[in-house]
Copies of this chain bind each other. A is one copy, B any other.
Amino acid sequence: MSDSIVISIDAMGGDHGPAVAVPGIALALERLGDRKVRFLLFGDETLINVELAHHPKARAACEVRHTDKVISSDEKAAQALRRGKGSSLWNTVEAVKDGEAQAALSGGNTGGLMAISKLLLRMTGGLDRPAIVASWPTLRGVTAVLDVGANVSSDAAQLVEFAIMGEAFHAAVHGAQRPSVGLLNVGSEEQKGHEEVREAHRILRESGLEMDYRGFVEGDDIAKGTVDVIVTDGFTGNIALKTAEGTARFVRQVMRDTFTSSLQAKIGAAIAAPALRKMRDRLDPSSVNGGPLLGLNGIVVKSHGGADARGYANAICIAADLASSDYAAQIDRNLKQLAAAMPGQDPQDGSGSEPVENVQ
């Protein structure tokens, strides 16, 4: 497996376990084309092998490692951490720690994934807590939004860290030379918003970080693509992401209703069918699935628990992109810059922090 990327997969994570993970791998292999990617699958080998039997190409790229234990999606993070050892989720992350895999992917318990990843991989360069980043399709390309659910609240220092992580992620994965960064708020004027966003704004403005920081942005700037990276706390980010998903689904439903509302509409839709198919692909919610946990010494990607095979394949492609990128080097550069810009701030080692509770 020397010159190929290896992705470790928590095959039991998510609502559908191997029934989505394996078809997802099969689809991802098609999309990845010539790139050499192999998979380590952790979980119930009987269930996994049943699925692999239907997907011979996926089977050829997979190695199955049996685990009896599974962390359920409703377990608290602390509980997942306590009893998680030897579970499919734990072993998936451990494969990255041990250097067997270059990226880990799970659709399972987010809080558990975060706590276990933090314990096993540790945070990089004194960062405090991981953030989950979503790659949001916009009118201008892709905007990275973080945090979308790793943390239920975030202070100003964390928001600044999110800005650093998000900028490094966008540069490494989406290729922007100098990504622009905005802070999500309820208005663009200086005095708007609560204490935390105003303080983070002040730090980003005044720290002398070499970052193209553009100040406050609002909810509608996400889909506009006003900036490349949008920073927010995990509570707001999670709700914004799901609200957008719900809105897109609503609009698609209205469209379906429209094109079946009369014979004439049906004829028009039939004629426009090729264009409509392309549109459907562009608006496919599975195309945004796959949220990397940023800030760790290692790549961990969260797939939506309810993702289908297309969504899962998308998360795999993001993991592969991240594994082949220079994200780690980029974040390192950013952190050195922050340390130089704010010499008073003492890097924490991050290892002694509390496990995450109450996250989505």
Which residues of A are at the interface with B, using a C-beta cutoff of 8 A?
Answer: 74, 76, 137-139, 149, 152-153, 184, 186-187, 189, 191-194, 198, 218-224, 232, 234-236, 238-255, 257-259, 261-262, 264-265, 267-276, 278-279, 282-283, 357-360
When the two chains form the complex, which single residue of B138, B239, B264 contacts A218, counting CB atoms closer than 8 Å? B239
Question: Is B149 touching A239 in the complex (CB atoms < 8 A)?
Answer: no
Query: Could you tell me the distance between the alpha carbons of A350 and B206 in the complex, rounded to whole angstroms?
Result: 39
Contact A186 B240 (CB under 8 A): no
Cross-chain contact A246 with B220 (CB below 8 angstroms): yes
Alpha-carbon distance between A236 and B153 when the two chains are bound, in angstroms: 12
Asked if residues A74 and B235 are in contact (CB atoms below 8 Å), the reply is: no
Which B-chain residue is minimally distant from A220 (CB atoms)?
A: B246
- Indicate which residue in B198, B243, B255, B278 contacts A240 across the interface (CB closer than 8 Å): B243
Count of identical protomers in the assembly? 2
How far does the alpha carbon of A193 sit from the alpha carbon of B253 in the complex, in Å?
Answer: 30
**In the bound complex, do residue A247 and residue B223 qualify as a contact, i.e. CB atoms below 8 Å apart?**
yes
A218 contacts which chain B residues (CB < 8 A)? 239, 242
Task: Point out which of A74, A189, A239, A283 has the most chain B C-beta atoms below 10 A from its C-beta.
Answer: A239
Interchain CB contact under 8 A, A246 and B223? yes
Q: Beyond A152-B192, A191-B358, A269-B272: 8 further Cβ-contacts under 8 Å?
A: A193-B358, A219-B244, A222-B247, A223-B249, A224-B250, A239-B240, A254-B282, A258-B272
Alpha-carbon separation in the docked complex, A231 to B184 (Å)? 20
A274's partner among B186, B245, B264, B276 (CB-CB below 8 A) is B264
Given the contacts A223-B247, A275-B258, A239 and B236 also touching, CB distance less than 8 Å: yes
Query: Closest chain B residue to A240 by CB distance?
Result: B243
A246/B258 in contact, CB under 8 A: no
Bound CA span A182–B271, Å = 43
User: A193 and B243: CB pair below 8 A?
Assistant: no
State A279–B249 Cα separation when bound (angstroms). 15
The interface residues of chain B lying within 8 Å CB-to-CB of A251 are: 247-248, 251-252, 283
Query: Bound complex: CA of A60 vs CA of B232, how far in Å?
Result: 49
Q: Which of B238, B249, B282 contacts A186 (CB 8 A)?
A: B238
Smallest distance from the beta carbon of A14 to chain B beta carbons, Å?
15
The reply to whether A265 and B255 form a contact with Cβ atoms under 8 Å apart is: no
Interface contact B264-A275, CB-CB below 8 Å: yes
Contact B249 A275 (CB under 8 A): no
